[in-house]
Structure 1
Amino acid sequence: MVDLSEYAPILLFLFVAVGLSTAFVFLPMGVSRLTGTHNPSAEKLSEYECGFPAFEDSRSQFDVRFYLVAILFIIFDLEAAFLFPWAVSLDLTGWTGWATMMVFFAELIIGYIYAWKIGALEWD
């Protein structure tokens, strides 16, 4: 027979996770209704996509600079995410790890200069 008591910590973790996620979702909504900060208006309920209001025709052209800036932000955010583990483990990786990260930085700097030269960072 299988001893189900070994699954008790997993079930406890599951119940705590579901309880906390439910509290984080519904508690702020309930508090806002009780304190009076729940004040919907036509402007708050309007559709908002990609930095500008939605348009009727799906074939209309629109400015893609918003997406370009978002992609550039993600790229340089990932650079920061790679930088911390590299700095922490630099004593273990040695000169090979340092050289690899310098190649990575060089690629990012070349990409940044290219984006700057073509005007991707300009916002009129």
Structure 2
Amino acid sequence: MILLFMMSIIIIFISNFIMFLSLILSKKSFKDREKCSPFECGFDPKSSARNPFSLHFFLITVIFLIFDVEIALIFPMITSFKMVNLIIWTKTSFFFIIMLLIGLYHEWNQGMLNWTN
């Protein structure tokens, strides 16, 4: 038990020493003009990057990403149709589609799909 404790102390000491050494040897400049700018592509920004954006547009984007990932999960179900038991495949597909429709109904019921209020 004492050997395990000593080894863990040594490992923690060595990892902290390496992190401290890398912090000292790195050539990071926190006052660099390009690093402080909101765009790091080399161009000067034309306007302020802190302008407010539409929260509704952001929520529509998140909804799109969720449904896009769910569509990506449906594609393997199509290719596995001939390789698995038909009853299990049907139950799984039906459950997955029902969950998608429940989520769509909830978003529709909350008014998230209306672009203008």
TM-score bin, normalised by smaller chain: 0.5 to 0.7
Partner of 2:46: 45
Specify which of 51, 54, 58 is matched with residue 67 of structure 1. 58
- How big is the shift at 1:47? 4.1
Q: 1:105 aligns with which of 97, 104, 108?
A: 97
Kept in 2: contact 1:90–1:98 (CA 8 A): no
Matches within 5 A, 1:1-124: 45-48=46-49, 54-55=51-52, 63-94=54-85, 95-124=87-116
AA matched with 1:45? K
Structure with bigger helix share is 1
Give every structure 1 segment of 4 or more consecutive aligned residues whose post-TM-superposition deviation is greater than 4 Å.
none
Question: Following TM superposition, by how much is the alpha carbon of 1:67 offset from its aligned partner in structure 2, in angstroms?
Answer: 2.2
Q: Which has the larger radius of gyration?
A: 2
How many residues are matched? 73
The TM-score with structure 1 as length reference comes to 0.50
For residue 103 of structure 2, what is the amino acid of its counterpart? Answer: G
Deviation, structure 1 residue 63? 4.8
Structure 1 portions without partners, runs of 5+ = 1-39, 56-61
Q: Which runs of 5+ in 2 are unaligned?
A: 1-42
TM-score normalized by the length of structure 2: 0.52
